[in-house]
């Protein structure tokens, strides 16, 4: 494996993604929490950083010790740090060094830069630049404005680059990373979904033995893939619980429960609609609704988990971005995790935790799911918020409003699927607005509610653009909703991006 030491760059996770796309396993660790290196470590990468190496409180790392023991690749900050602390010079750049540049010199004989064509486009993003390097550094790539675009410390396995090979604008960045991983570190590129599945199942068997595990299924990708992996490892000792909170999409509970059962999972569906709707009655504030749903879910899950005798583990679908310890950019102090008050937790939360996907990124979870043969309908599903339709019904929630929204949403989603747009948007859903407007149907004046349609494109939900659905498709959906869903006489489309809007309305 490869260890990536993170100095807080926005691109660190992208380095990890690229390394893994080359079928090499890697882990991200904060620069100030360097793990003990075991025999599996084949090389180390130092990331970029929002810091300048010239700042007094700039993050430190003992690169000499690491470089003596392992092949080392410094990227951006990492490159500048090593240059500065080896007797070179780093100064603020006098000219713009953001964006695209082309390599006007490349040392084709060097292990890191071989097979990269002259003029290859690279992506620069730095405020400082290396202006002088010591005698034992050889420059292996340059651009018009950045002479030291890449260097090699002679007679060592330490290599550095000032540009970012991990972003797609660095056209041959992947080749460069492959050179480092394969030629320099000797990695064997055998980390694939199949190998992940094999080693994970073996490790789960070893860890859990004959114990029992409870796991809450949500119908989403992560919990489904986690459940199937655990099922392969421990079979019927995995007890899945799928809760119907009454706020899922139309027919979703029945459909998803059915496909879980087809997958051979030992799953119990719990109908808790009334418990949720009772507790939500009259609540209007979005945060109060979320809290009520969270509270009832814990109660319902705890009750269901108690029905499994002698359970010792709680399975969860946690994925890697949730567990990567982040580097604080406000100060290089170690992040301190808060401790839970174990005494006050419901019983199931006192169980030991097993998280088979906590080393994977979302797209890797999908690939593993595919290799496990999980239904593409489950793997390709849009993200859906835990509180479900409760936060898509603005204002208070009643069973009537839920039914109206479910019907309108089903028409919307079916049309997206039929037209091929479902897979082109990142997330879509209908929202029930708490306003009534005047309409006319036949000779009758109507005074009914408004449904808003929302569809966005996004990578991770942090930022999003509204999707440019064709007018014809919107016209068809609007027609179908108004003609078929009693209580709705108007449909609108949300054309706001995030930021400044959010994806959900509450
Ligand atoms: P926003 O509305 O913040 O949504 O732009 C970003 C993503 O998060 C989802 N979301 C939630 N998911 N519980 C969840 O599990 C919540 O309370 C919640 N609120 C928003 C939203 O659907 C989108 O994918």
Count other C-beta atoms under 10 Å from residue 40's C-beta: 9
Whole-number percent of the chain with pLDDT over 70: 96
pLDDT for res 338: 40
Q: Tokens at residue 457, please? A: 């494109």
Can you tell me which atom of ligand 1 is nearest the CA of 464?
5
If one residue of 461, 462, 464 were mutated to test the ligand 1 pocket, choosing by the most ligand atoms within 8 A of its CB, it would be 461
Q: Phi/psi at 456 (nearest 5 deg)?
A: -135, 155
pLDDT for res 461: 86
| Pocket of ligand 1 from Cβ distances under 6 Å | 290, 383, 385-387, 427, 461, 498, 502-504
Residue 248: which of 278, 288, 289, 220 has the closest Cα? 220
Mean pLDDT of 162-176: 94
Range in 41-45, 347-351, 494-498 the model is least confident about: 347-351
Span 95-144, pLDDT tens digits: 767 889 999 999 999 999 999 999 999 999 888 999 999 999 999 999 99
Range in 45-54, 209-218, 327-336, 485-494 the model is least confident about: 327-336
| DSSP 8-state symbol, 381 | P
Mean pLDDT of 85-101: 86
* Cα angle 263, 224, 364; round to 5: 115
Can you tell me which atom of ligand 1 is nearest the CA of 290?
17
Q: Tokens at residue 472, please? A: 């014809």
If one residue of 501, 504, 505, 506 were mutated to test the ligand 1 pocket, choosing by the most ligand atoms within 8 A of its CB, it would be 504
For ligand 1, the distance from its centroid to the CA atom of residue 431, given in whole angstroms, is 14
CB 66 within 8 A of CB 44: yes
Mean pLDDT of 52-73: 94
For ligand 1, the distance from its centroid to the CA atom of residue 385, given in whole angstroms, is 5
Q: Is 224 helix (H, G, I), strand (E, B) or coil?
A: helix
pLDDT bracket for residue 327 (50, 70, 90): confident
Atom 6 (ligand 1) nearest CA = 461
Mean pLDDT of 317-331: 76
Span 391-432, pLDDT tens digits: 999 999 999 999 999 999 999 999 999 999 999 999 999 999
Alpha-carbon torsion 31, 33, 39, 41, what sign?
Answer: negative
- More confident: 33 or 502: 502
Question: Would the pLDDT of 454 be above 60?
Answer: yes
Give the separation between CA 270 and CA 297, rounded to whole angstroms: 11
218-228: burial string, b at 16+ Cβ within 10 Å, e else: bbbbbbbbbbb
- More confident: 240 or 349: 240
pLDDT for res 344: 63
Q: Which residues are catalytic?
A: 76, 164, 166
For ligand 1, the distance from its centroid to the CA atom of residue 388, given in whole angstroms, is 9
Length of the chain measured in residues: 506
Span 195-226, pLDDT tens digits: 999 999 999 999 999 999 999 999 999 999 99
pLDDT for res 337: 36
| DSSP 8-state symbol, 498 | B
Count other C-beta atoms under 10 Å from residue 173's C-beta: 24
Domains of the chain: 2-184 (3.40.50.880), 193-379 (3.40.50.620), 398-493 (3.30.300.10)
Count other C-beta atoms under 10 Å from residue 410's C-beta: 18
pLDDT for res 68: 95
Whole-number percent of the chain with pLDDT over 90: 85
**Neighbouring-strand partners of residue 498:** 464
**Overall pTM surpassing 0.90 (yes/no):** no
Is the reported ipTM for this assembly greater than 0.95?
A: yes
Q: Give the position of tokens 């540049």.
A: 101
Alpha-carbon torsion 303, 304, 306, 311, what sign?
Answer: negative
Span 255-302, pLDDT tens digits: 999 999 999 999 999 999 999 999 999 999 999 999 999 999 999 999
pLDDT for res 460: 80
Atom 3 (ligand 1) nearest CA = 502
Helices and strands (H, E) in the chain, number of each type: 14, 20
* Arithmetic mean of pLDDT over the chain: 93
pLDDT for res 328: 61
CB 212 within 8 A of CB 315: no
Give the separation between CA 243 and CA 273, rounded to whole angstroms: 9
pLDDT for res 329: 52
pLDDT for res 85: 96
Q: Tokens at residue 211, please? A: 């114990």
**From the centroid of its chain, how far is CA 17?**
11
């Amino acid at each position: 494996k490869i260890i990536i030491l993170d100095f807080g760059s926005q691109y660190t996770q992208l380095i990890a993604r690229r390394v893994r796309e080359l079928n090499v396993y890697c882990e991200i660790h904060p620069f100030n929490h360097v793990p003990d290196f075991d025999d599996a470590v084949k090389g180390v990468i130092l990331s970029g950083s929002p810091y300048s190496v010239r700042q007094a409180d700039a993050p430190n790392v003992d690169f000499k010790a690491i470089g003596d023991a392992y092949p080392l690749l410094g990227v951006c900050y990492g490159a500048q740090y090593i240059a500065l602390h080896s007797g070179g010079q780093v100064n603020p750049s006098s000219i713009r060094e953001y964006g695209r540049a082309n390599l006007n010199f490349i040392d084709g004989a060097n292990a890191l830069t071989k097979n990269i064509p002259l003029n290859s486009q690279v992506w620069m993003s730095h405020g400082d630049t290396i202006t002088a390097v010591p005698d034992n550094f050889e420059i292996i790539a340059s651009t018009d404005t950045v002479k030291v675009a890449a260097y090699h410390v002679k007679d060592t396995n330490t290599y550095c680059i000032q540009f970012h090979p991990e972003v797609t604008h660095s056209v041959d960045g992947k080749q460069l990373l492959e050179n480092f991983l394969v030629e320099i570190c000797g990695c064997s590129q055998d980390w694939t979904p199949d190998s992940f599945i094999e080693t994970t199942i073996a490790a789960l068997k070893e860890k859990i033995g004959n114990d029992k595990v409870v796991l809450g299924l949500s119908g989403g990708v992560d919990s489904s893939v986690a459940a199937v992996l655990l099922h392969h490892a421990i079979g019927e000792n995995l007890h899945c619980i799928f809760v119907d909170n009454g706020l899922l999409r139309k027919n979703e509970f029945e459909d998803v429960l059915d496909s879980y059962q087809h997958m051979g999972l030992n799953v119990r569906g719990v109908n808790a609609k009334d418990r949720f709707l009772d507790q939500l009655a009259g609540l209007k504030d979005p945060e109060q609704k979320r809290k009520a749903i969270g509270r009832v879910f814990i109660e319902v899950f705890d009750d269901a988990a108690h029905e499994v005798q002698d359970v010792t583990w709680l399975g969860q679908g946690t994925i890697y971005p949730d567990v990567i310890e982040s580097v604080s950019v406000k100060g290089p102090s170690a992040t301190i995790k808060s401790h839970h008050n174990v005494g006050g937790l419901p019983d199931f939360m006192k169980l030991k935790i097993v998280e088979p996907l906590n080393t994977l990124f979302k797209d890797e979870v999908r690939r593993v799911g595919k290799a496990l043969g999980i239904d593409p309908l489950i793997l390709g599903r849009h993200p859906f918020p835990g509180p479900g339709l409760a936060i898509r019904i603005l204002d208070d929630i009643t069973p009537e409003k839920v039914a109206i929204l479910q019907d309108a949403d089903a028409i919307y989603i079916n049309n997206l699927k039929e037209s091929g747009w479902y897979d082109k948007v990142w997330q879509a859903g209908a929202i029930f607005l708490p306003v009534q407007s005047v309409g006319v149907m036949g000779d009758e004046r109507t005074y009914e509610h408004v449904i808003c349609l929302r569809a966005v494109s996004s990578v991770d939900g942090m930022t999003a653009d509204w999707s440019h659905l064709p007018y014809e498709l919107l016209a068809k959906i609007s027609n179908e909703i108004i003609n078929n869903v009693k209580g709705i006489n108007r449909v609108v489309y949300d054309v706001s991006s995030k930021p400044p809007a959010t994806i959900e309305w509450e």
